[in-house]
Structure 1
Amino acid sequence: MKSFVFQNQTIKPGTKRSMLLPVVAGTDSTVIPVSVFHGAKEGPVLGIIAGVHGYEYPPIVAAQQFAQTLDPAQLSGTVILVHIANVPSFLGRRIQYNPLDGKNLNRVFPGKADGTITERMAWLLGNDIIGRCNYVIDVHAGDAQDDLRPYAGYYNYFDTPELSEKGRQMAVALGFPYVIQFGNEPSLKNELGVYCSREAIKRGIPAVDIECGRFGMAESENVAQIKQALHNLLVHLRLETGQPLTNNQPYIIAQRTSVNSEHMGFFYPQVKAGEFIHKGRKLGYVTDLFGNRLADVLAPVNGVVLYMSSTPPISKGESLFSIGHIPVAAQP
């Protein structure tokens, strides 16, 4: 096993190295904390990325705790772990957006080497981390306003069946009861990466997503579920030995429908994430700023509520629900 060179640092087999990667754009600056675990035996390079959205705390806490238990001497391969991809958002307690330039890191990939601070963060993540990996996992959760049902996801494009199949196998191995297919389109060739994990797909690197956690709270059960899923993935990719604790027959959801608000005001939900719903069911209602009811929100399809807005403020056009299509006959 040879040493692993990362950011001009040489990491010997069976050891780990933690470092802060600087990102500077004019007067704006930040760092990206990264730990590299270089195994004692040969194997693939896995990138684990947490904190692309800094208010999504369960992945960030899970990554920190996972790093404390990961033993490079027992690894067959290398793990590049990004503890917090978006430190300004994390420290500023900002939902989705970087307070330094107002951009969403998960909407700007591949970024720009000479762009704003967020665009440069994406450029570094894409070229210095994702580009060094054989596999990538991007870990997310529900933000402060989002109730969310935990699930895994992968990208499915028809012109890259082998890449899509590797992603499907990784997603199933994570052990979540639902696996969401993203994409389901002919090709990604003429599009930008935009999203962190899709940037890996754009580069021909198998990638998966986790969504686990709600309201930005670092609840212990969600942190534990993420850590178990990461262990399952390492076993699946043969970086670690052992037996994964998995649900080997997740339900594959190939289509989702978003429900957006037609009004500005207060939103009063009447369901929770994870509930099974039928077309036409009342999901909640919207009032104006004085409390006058403006509209009921009805389910447009049969399915399961994957995530939803659960706090009162709502703007016109803002997302209220994401519903995974499940026929009534297939619902428990």
Structure 2
Amino acid sequence: MYRLRTYYEELMPYVYYVGAAAAEVVEKSKAMAEVVDVPCLVRSPHGSGGSYNYAGSCGIPSILIERGCTGVWSKEEVELGKEDVRNVLRYLKILEGKISGKIYKPVDVENVIYKNASHTGCWYPTKRAGDTLKKGEILGWIKDYFGNVLEICVAEADGILLYQVVSLSIIRSGPMVAYGENVDCGQIDKW
């Protein structure tokens, strides 16, 4: 799945690791992800779409760290991201030193549901990235300019909201929400 990176997505900090590759590549990728200080480790089901997935399909363990959102990041997020990279390099024995301590005890997310908009219109989300959700809960509505509901986005499973569009404008076939299914959300540290 190819997904154009947007600057209108709100996301919680998490890390993708290669999941559609040889077992040893997946194992090494997950081990790399485990040294990143985020609440969730997300196993990617894709073998293409993004450089980290392509690397995995070529036998190269890889991860994608998601931190910051809407094209904005704080100094703290930059420092956390840099420390994450240093920890991965330490794990790989490319950089000397001990892997630094972590704030989070990450939860595994192996099944992610990606929902794209079926209509162009105005998006009204009901949740925030990092919120837990229950199957059947309304995650948001797409309305026209007159307030008529064009689409209702409903959670297909219990889980945690990884990211969502937060702009008023939403485009047909564009990303709307992504959430991890059946996650033991009680174990997730709030970021």
Name 2:58's counterpart in structure 1: 203
Question: Which one of the candidate residues 199, 207, 231 is aligned to 2:86?
Answer: 231
Deviations 1:10-53 (A, max 9, x none): xxxxxxxxxxxxxxxxxxxxxxxxxxxxxxxxxxxxxxxxxxxx
Structure 1 contact 235–244 (Cα < 8 Å) conserved? no
The whole-number CA distance in structure 2 between the counterparts of 1:267 and 1:274 is 18
Structure 2 contact 55–62 (Cα < 8 Å) conserved? yes
Name 1:39's counterpart in structure 2: none
Name 2:27's counterpart in structure 1: 165
The whole-number CA distance in structure 2 between the counterparts of 1:214 and 1:291 is 28
Output the amino acid matched with 2:11: L
Name 1:296's counterpart in structure 2: 152
Extract unaligned runs of 5+ from structure 1: 1-105, 108-141
Extract unaligned runs of 5+ from structure 2: 187-191
Output the amino acid matched with 1:145: Y
Q: CA deviation at 1:248?
A: 7.4
Q: TM-score, normalization: structure 1?
A: 0.51
Q: CA deviation at 1:247?
A: 5.4
Q: CA deviation at 1:228?
A: 1.6
Deviations 1:211-231 (A, max 9, x none): 111110122232122112112
**C-alpha RMSD of the superposition:** 2.2
Q: CA deviation at 1:202?
A: 2.7
The reply on whether 1:182 has 2:20 as its aligned counterpart is no
Name 2:142's counterpart in structure 1: 286
Output the amino acid matched with 1:265: G
Q: TM-score, normalization: structure 2?
A: 0.86
The aligned runs of 1:45-60 (5 Å cut-off) are none
Structure 1 contact 145–309 (Cα < 8 Å) conserved? yes
Q: CA deviation at 1:256?
A: 0.6
Output the amino acid matched with 2:110: A
The whole-number CA distance in structure 2 between the counterparts of 1:316 and 1:233 is 38
Output the amino acid matched with 1:287: K
**3-state SS of the aligned residue for 2:34?**
helix
Larger Rg: 1
The reply on whether 1:156 has 2:19 as its aligned counterpart is yes
Structure 1 contact 280–300 (Cα < 8 Å) conserved? yes
Name 1:48's counterpart in structure 2: none
Question: Which one of the candidate residues 121, 130, 140 is aligned to 1:265?
Answer: 121
The whole-number CA distance in structure 1 between the counterparts of 2:34 and 2:52 is 16
**3-state SS of the aligned residue for 1:143?**
coil
Number of residue pairs the alignment of both structures matches: 183
Q: CA deviation at 1:331?
A: 2.0
Q: CA deviation at 1:203?
A: 2.5
Q: 1:259 to 1:194 in 2, by over 3 A?
A: closer
Name 1:307's counterpart in structure 2: 163
Deviations 1:293-318 (A, max 9, x none): 33332212110000000101112222
Structure 1 contact 157–183 (Cα < 8 Å) conserved? yes
The whole-number CA distance in structure 2 between the counterparts of 1:318 and 1:174 is 29
Q: 1:194 to 1:147 in 2, by over 3 A?
A: closer
Structure 2 contact 35–99 (Cα < 8 Å) conserved? no
Output the amino acid matched with 1:144: Y
The reply on whether 1:212 has 2:67 as its aligned counterpart is yes
Question: Which one of the candidate residues 178, 185, 188 is aligned to 1:331?
Answer: 185
Q: 1:170 to 1:248 in 2, by over 3 A?
A: farther
**3-state SS of the aligned residue for 1:198?**
helix
- Identify the structure with the greater helix proportion: 1
Q: 1:157 to 1:286 in 2, by over 3 A?
A: closer
The whole-number CA distance in structure 1 between the counterparts of 2:154 and 2:45 is 26
Structure 1 contact 171–179 (Cα < 8 Å) conserved? yes
Q: CA deviation at 1:156?
A: 2.1
Name 1:145's counterpart in structure 2: 8
Output the amino acid matched with 2:53: R
Structure 2 contact 20–57 (Cα < 8 Å) conserved? no
